[in-house]
Structure 1
Amino acid sequence: MLTIVTLLFSAIVFYYDLKYQTIPNKLTIPAIGAGWLISLEHGAFVSSLLGSAIGFSVLLVPFLFGWVGGGDVKMLAALGALMGPSPFVSAFFLGILIAGGFSLLVLVKHRALFEMVAYLFRLPEGERYRRINQCIPLGSCMSLAVFALVLFGLVG
């Protein structure tokens, strides 16, 4: 049951984040509650609570610096509640790798890979990179990670 809810939640997040670049509370808050309720029924409430705490905390500092949105933070809390701590950590790291690959594709598309390195080292050539305004759909990347883990039987 949790796997079905997790896949459904991930599919909706994937769509919303790609299309609207937002993950609304009307998706994340009920998903957290569903994860807690279903896990309570299966005797895994503490695991679900720990998963949601881990999910919430991993992006809290980046959120405070304005690097990610609040929807991303709550989406990870929901995935943690639905998956539990261990599968969530696997999904998180795979999602970060997918987001990194997506970021590289954006840089190649804008022909800005050199400019990004120049920007990191504060060279004048990096000014063009700073003006690239491209959001990385982190929620969609995390959703792809969940799909991959379930598809390959590593979660569920």
Structure 2
Amino acid sequence: MIEVILSVILIISLITDIKARKILNIVTIPAIGFAFIYYVITGGLHGLLFSTGGFLLGLGLLFLPFLLGGVGAGDVKLLAAIGALQGMQFVFYAFIYTALIGGMIAVVLLLKRKDLLHSFKRILYVTQLKTLDSLNKDELHHAFPYGVAIVIGTFITLGAGSLWV
């Protein structure tokens, strides 16, 4: 049942992120609330801790990228919802797959725009300065809807579940 709910949330989020560049609170917030209630009913305090731990880890994994402007608040809430529904171990692996998928999407987009080499030069420039203050955020930002990477990474984790449990 949880996997079906998660799949519906992922598909809705994929569609809204591609079409409107938004992951809707009306999808993520009820999913988080449902997860807490479901796990309290089915597992009591242990269930609440399972869901809360996943929620907090999901929230924490994208919080710094959110503060740096790399992802939106909807992306953070989606990963938190995934964690609340599936727990800490699952959301950690989903995050790893998401990061790999996100990196691949970014490289493909940079290759398509013929901007890969220029982007690597900017990254080296930033790491040598050890500061982002001297660079324009818009200049560094090659945005794509990161929810796409989150959804793909999470579906990979669902499919590979038996490999890491």
4+ long deviations beyond 4 Å: 130-133
User: What root-mean-square deviation, in Å, do the aligned CA atoms of Structure 1 and Structure 2 show?
Assistant: 2.2
Contact 1:52-1:77 within 8 A present in 2 as well:
yes
Instruction: Tell me the residue number matched to 1:83.
Output: 86
Instruction: Tell me the residue number matched to 2:55.
Output: 52
What's the offset of the Cα at 1:131? Answer: 4.5
Q: Deviations over 1:8-46 (max 9, x none)?
A: 111111111111111121111111111111212220221
Instruction: Tell me the residue number matched to 1:137.
Output: 145
Cα–Cα, structure 1 residues 132 and 57, in superposed 2: closer, same or farther, change >3 Å? Answer: closer
2:102 to 99, 102, 124: 99
Seq. identity, %: 30
Q: TM-score, normalised by structure 1?
A: 0.87
Cα–Cα, structure 1 residues 7 and 113, in superposed 2: closer, same or farther, change >3 Å? Answer: same
Q: Which has the higher contact order (CA 8 A, sep 6+)?
A: 1
Q: Deviations over 1:98-140 (max 9, x none)?
A: 00000000010001111111212339xxx9xx74764222212
1:66 and 2:69 equivalent? yes
Contact 1:91-1:146 within 8 A present in 2 as well:
yes
Segments of 5+ residues of structure 1 without an aligned counterpart are: none
2:117 to 114, 118, 124: 114
Instruction: Tell me the residue number matched to 2:33.
Output: 33
Residue identity in the other structure for 1:112: D
Contact 2:11-2:151 within 8 A present in 1 as well:
yes
Partner Cα separation in structure 2 for residue 87 and residue 98 of structure 1: 16
Residue identity in the other structure for 2:123: L
Instruction: Tell me the residue number matched to 2:17.
Output: 17
Residue identity in the other structure for 1:95: T
